[in-house]
Amino acid sequence: MDSIQHVKQRFGIIGNHPGLNRALEKALRVAATEISVLVTGESGVGKENIPKIIHQYSSRKHARYIAVNCGAIPEGTIDSELFGHEKGAFTGATSTRSGYFEEADGGTIFLDEVGELPLPTQVRLLRVLENGEFFKVGSSKVQKTNVRIVAATNVKMEEAIAKEKFREDLYYRLSTVEIAIPPLRERKEDIHLLFRKFAADFAEKYRMPPLRLDDNAQLLLQQYRWSGNIRQLRNVAEQMSVLEKERLISPTTLRIYLPEKGSQLPSVIDKQKDKSDFSSEREILYKILFDMRSDLNDLKKLTHELIQEEDPSMRKEKNQNLIKKIYGKEEEHLPKELPPSTIAIEKPTADIEISKVDDHDRYDYAETAIEEEPLSLLEKEIEMIKQALSRSNGKRKKAAEELGISERTLYRKIKQYDLNEKEDDAF
């Protein structure tokens, strides 16, 4: 068996970190067996080297080696890609096709990002692992294959299993031997070695002198948290090789190419983005409707309590609370009290009115309760626009601000729903 150093030279692997050496040692030991291997590690750490080593040092080295990125294949076609399909199995299947498991018969198949496989495909893969059998899509004929499976993932499999996104039995079948590749930030002594290798490669590629880092730049390079691991380091080396005229790099220059947050790549979307920032009028409308529905439920409760109240003083206090709820918090807009024995509620989202509620029939009202008449979304939108125009005395700009939409959009909806008959004079 070749030494680890020889393996590094053959496959272009740079570094002397104990974790990296341990991973290579395990790969060499399992290569001569038929054991399934699961390679784990963050994205960009170089997991794709391990299955190549296993294949080249196995008895299958003269057979085919096929690498499949499971995360890059659409869910609707993944079964066809892996297992093949019969002619007419689905729309567009104009001929019979062999899948990767059939093509790699006798060799090795590397399933990268195996954690992204859909659950139905996981069931098919489990059968291949257990007895080497599979079905083509659209076929009832059992086919056999003899392949060595090496899988890799950057997903935390325990969490995926707990969330029922990955089958536990498949995980244990794949991970007979698990090989973990350490992230670059744990291999600080290897970072500068890798940078020098990339700088030399790009200098040869672009025909220019190689980059060099001064002592402080080397220290900054080692202290930085490489979220994209080796892939990110390679990109930084290539950018500087092309863009920088000065070949001796200082920390000031290096910082230009390093995102401020080492734990997050620049392309990652900020997940803490304000969720109230809606992207469409429909979402704004839904929010308004839900808010109004909540207000309506509060009004129902308050009205019901008011009707059942025996104490006149308490009834007056609750009456004032109801008035504030209906007309808003601005004191100048509030009537001092509602007419005796009469409570009227404006209709915010549903046709609902309580009028002339006397003491002798309040219990009948409580039993018949305030029921919402179901309205379609379109009817609710029209009713909401009418109310906004009414409260703004027909002024479109004020009504649009209240609705949370532009004046132009409001004008278009007025035309669309033919609301001009009553409001035109006010415009």
CATH code of residue 202: 1.10.8.60
Residue 223 CA to its chain's centroid (Å):
30
In a domain, 49, yes or no: yes
Question: Is the same domain home to 41 and 126?
Answer: yes
Which neighbouring-strand residues pair with 98? Answer: 84
In the predicted model, is pLDDT for residue 77 greater than 60? Answer: yes
Do 43 and 120 reside in the same domain of the chain?
yes
Domain span holding position 240: 185-256
Judge contact between 227 and 184, C-beta under 8 A.
Answer: no
Predicted confidence at residue 14, as pLDDT, reads 94
- Closest CA relative to residue 221, chosen from 184, 246, 247, 167: 184
Report the C-alpha gap between 190 and 222 in whole angstroms.
9
In this structure, the answer to whether residues 332 and 403 fall within a common structural domain is: no
Which domain-ending residue is among 153, 182, 211?
182
Most confident range, picked from 19-28, 286-295, 303-312? 19-28
| Residue 351 is assigned to a structural domain of this protein | yes
State residue 90's pLDDT score: 87
> Is the pLDDT reported for residue 13 higher than 90?
yes
The total number of structural domains in the chain stands at 4
Q: How far is CA 371 from CA 306, 323, 328, 349, in A?
A: 17, 21, 23, 12
Which amino acid, one-letter code, is at 250?
S
Average pLDDT score over residue span 188-214: 95
Q: Per the domain annotation, does 263 fall within a domain?
A: no
Quote the pLDDT of residue 403.
Answer: 81
Rounded average pLDDT over 320-347: 50
* Domain stop point among 138, 160, 182: 182
- Say if strands 212-213 and 248-249 run parallel, antiparallel, or are unpaired: parallel
Give the CATH number, domain containing residue 387.
Answer: 1.10.10
Mean pLDDT of 208-237: 95
Q: Phi then psi for 148, rounded to 5 degrees?
A: -95, 125
What pLDDT was estimated at residue 401?
Answer: 83
Same domain, 177 and 100: yes
Q: Please check whether residue 275 lies inside any domain of the structure.
A: no
Mean pLDDT, all residues of the chain: 81
Over residues 296-306, mean pLDDT: 70
The answer to whether residues 213 and 355 belong to one domain is no
Residue 269 predicted with pLDDT over 60? no
Which one has a higher pLDDT value, 259 or 280? Answer: 259
Six-digit token string for 64:
């085919």
Answer for the pair 178, 38: CB distance below 8 angstroms, yes or no. yes
Does 200 lie in the same domain as 52?
no
> Where is pLDDT greater, at 399 or 265?
399
Q: Indicate whether 395 and 353 sit together in one domain.
A: no
Question: What whole-number percentage of the chain has pLDDT above 70?
Answer: 73
Residue range 295-321: mean pLDDT, rounded: 67
Residue pair 28/7 in contact by the 8 Å Cβ criterion: yes
| Choice between 222 and 360, residue whose per-residue pLDDT is larger | 222
- Report residue 231's pLDDT band, with 50, 70 and 90 as the boundaries: very high
pLDDT at 126: 96
User: Is residue 266 one of the residues assigned to a domain?
Assistant: no
Do 386 and 419 touch, CB atoms closer than 8 A?
Answer: yes
Residue range 376-404: mean pLDDT, rounded:
82
In this structure, are 176 and 192 located in the same domain?
no
State residue 420's pLDDT score. 64
Mean pLDDT score, 82-106: 93
Do 13 and 49 form a contact (C-beta atoms < 8 A)?
A: yes
| Alpha-carbon 318 to chain mean position | 47
Extract the tokens encoding 130.
């257990």
In a domain, residue 318? The reply is yes
pLDDT tens-digit series, residues 272-291 = 444 444 445 555 666 677 67
- Write out the two tokens for 339: 């007419």
224/115 same-domain check: no
pTM beyond cutoff 0.75: no
Sequence-separated (6 or more) residues with CB below 8 Å from residue 371: 352
Please indicate, yes or no, whether residues 248 and 393 belong to a single structural domain of this protein: no
In this structure, of 20-34, 95-109, 172-186, 287-301, the range with the lowest mean pLDDT score is: 287-301
- Under 8 Å between Cβ of 47 and 66: no
Q: Rounded to an integer, what distance in angstroms lies between the CA atom of residue 400 and that of residue 411?
A: 9
Q: Does any domain span residue 265?
A: no
CATH number of the domain to which 121 belongs: 3.40.50.300
Give me the pLDDT at residue 386, please: 86
**Looking at this protein, which amino acid is placed at residue 347?**
K
**Res 352: pLDDT:** 40
Quick check: 237 and 213 in contact, CB under 8 A? no
Give the per-residue pLDDT at 378. 75
Domain boundary (241, 256, 271) is at 256
pLDDT at 109 > cutoff 90: yes
Instruction: Indicate the range of 19-33, 98-112, 389-403 predicted with least confidence.
Output: 389-403
> In the predicted model, is pLDDT for residue 1 greater than 70?
no
Pair (32, 132) in one structural domain: yes
Same domain, 344 and 220: no
Q: How confident is the model at residue 270 (pLDDT cuts 50, 70, 90)?
A: very low
Q: Is the pLDDT of residue 321 over 80?
A: no
* Side chain identity at residue 363, one-letter code: Y
Contact 268, 232 (CB under 8 A): no
Span 358-367, pLDDT tens digits: 444 443 433 4
Residue 352 resides in a domain? yes
